[in-house]
Amino acid sequence: MKTEYIILGALTLMTASACVKEDSSSDAEFQRKYLQLWIDTYHNGVVQNNDGLYILEDKEGDGITINLAGTEDVSDYVYADVTIRGLDGSISSTTDEKLAKQLGNYDKKKAVYYGPRFYKLGKGNSYAGVDALYSGMKLEGTRTAVIPSWMITTSRYGTQKEYLSNMPSSATHLIYTVTPHGHIDDPLMVELDSIANYVKRNYPQAKPVTYKTDSAVDNTFYFYSDLDEVPVDEDGMPAERDSVAKCTVNYTGRLLNGQVFDTTVEKVAKDAGIYESGKSYSPVSITYSPKWDAISMGNSSSLINGFKGALFLMKYQGQKAVAIFDSTHGYGEAGDTRSNKIPGYSPLVFEFELVTVVNDM
């Protein structure tokens, strides 16, 4: 019986929307009337609030209140779990691993990151409807709301009428479900705290260093090597690579939560559940340079600074080292958008082994 009601509601909505489109004088008016029909059909009784949203569910949290009122140019961040749906229920984006598994989109081998992310709020950064959604929420609460298409814009206007008049032609109604865990001014400060705690727990011997000759040492890059003494060759000379050595290196990259996103070591890949049978797990070729930023792996020098910087600090065959650094040395605010393995503002941990060194003869 429930299925029959859903089908009947969908047919009613399709028929009614066709009539609305015939009567509408503009796309904006059609969008407004269609959304109201959808609300009346599936969430009868829900009304538009003062911010222009339709709140479908609202579970109050027990943390501080997010207050964005009167701060049009706010550039705060929320650290939140977010799922975005269309009115048809299709999910376009989610940070929820369990939901991704239910949808059949989850593949552990791809090492895609699921979990809270930093989202920048404010004019020019986020949709007006998203700012309105978070405003007034308490941390650790969960809110689901329909954001009308005319509020899917990074511009800001004073009234709903102005939003409708300036509605982007490509905009569509979206359903957001959000759970904010933090509301902060600067995620980089959160990174530094996270790194300091991680180093204290896991690598207390690691020290803040710099690999750049023109930069002072700060707390954004930590390095630790297993060598207490400089190794020597058969002639008793320091077994150090020269500035343009050809080397091979094993490495493993992790997030601070321990999730492995890349490795050249087969056992690590298998233990982490990201092993791929068609991939070759072996040391990679590294070409050194007198300058840290000119180091290349294979035929590519398109490596993040922290990776190149850590390699630059490694000098001896057999040396093992760990580098822990913040996103200014890594993937920055955007994260690794190609693989979705590393979210924005993510500190990274790399474990290295300088397997072979062949100096320029």
Q: Stretch 214-237: mean pLDDT, rounded?
A: 82
Alpha-carbon distance values, 243 to 57, 265, 317, 357 (Å): 61, 26, 14, 11
Position 175 confidence tier, pLDDT thresholds 50, 70, 90 = very high
pLDDT score for 2: 43
pLDDT score for 226: 92
Q: What architecture does CATH give domain 46-185? A: Roll (3.10)
Res. 5: pLDDT tops 60:
no
pLDDT tens per residue, range 146-174: 999 999 999 999 999 999 999 988 889 99
Res. 238: pLDDT tops 90:
no
Res. 15: pLDDT tops 70:
no
pLDDT score for 26: 81
Residues contacting 93, CB < 8 A, separation 6+: 82, 83, 84
- Which residue, among 17, 41, 27, 25, has the nearest Cα to 149 in the 3D structure? 27
pLDDT score for 169: 85
Res. 25: pLDDT tops 70:
no
pLDDT score for 23: 47
Of the given ranges (21-25, 206-210, 253-257, 330-334), which has the lowest mean pLDDT?
21-25
Question: Do 46-185 and 188-358 agree at the fold level?
Answer: yes
Res. 233: pLDDT tops 70:
no
Q: Which of the following CATH numbers is that of domain 188-358: 3.90.1150.10, 3.10.50.40, 3.90.1300.10, 3.40.50.300?
A: 3.10.50.40
pLDDT score for 14: 53
In angstroms, rounded to a whole number, what is the distance separating the alpha carbons of residues 67 and 65?
6
In angstroms, rounded to a whole number, what is the distance separating the alpha carbons of residues 206 and 323?
8
pLDDT score for 8: 44
> Three-class SS string for the chain?
CHHHHHHHHHHHHHHHHHHHHHHCCCHHHHHHHHHHHHHHHHCCCCCCCCCCCEEEEEECCCCCECCCCCCCCCCCEEEEEEEEECCCCCEEEECCHHHHHHHCCCCHHHCCCCCCEEEECCCCCCCHHHHHHHCCCECCCEEEEEECHHHCCCCCCCCHHHHHHCCCCCCCCEEEEEEEEEEECCHHHHHHHHHHHHHHHHCCCCEECCCCCCCCCCCCEEEEECCCCCCECCCCCECECCCCCEEEEEEEEEECCCCEEEECCHHHHHHHCCCCCCCCCCCEEEECCCCHHHCEECCECCCCHHHHHHHHHCCECCCEEEEEECHHHCCCCCCCCCCCCCCCCCCEEEEEEEEEEECCC
Res. 143: pLDDT tops 50:
yes
Position 13 confidence tier, pLDDT thresholds 50, 70, 90 = low
pLDDT score for 230: 67
Of the given ranges (11-25, 84-98, 271-285, 345-359), which has the lowest mean pLDDT?
11-25
Position 192 confidence tier, pLDDT thresholds 50, 70, 90 = very high
pLDDT tens per residue, range 324-353: 999 999 999 999 999 999 999 999 999 999
- Selected residue with higher pLDDT from 69 and 212: 212
Position 178 confidence tier, pLDDT thresholds 50, 70, 90 = very high
pLDDT score for 24: 45
**Averaged confidence pLDDT in the chain:** 90
Domain ranges of the chain: 1-45, 46-185, 188-358
Residue whose tokens read 């961040």: 77
pLDDT tens per residue, range 47-104: 999 999 999 999 999 999 998 755 555 568 999 999 999 999 999 999 999 999 999 9
pLDDT score for 130: 97
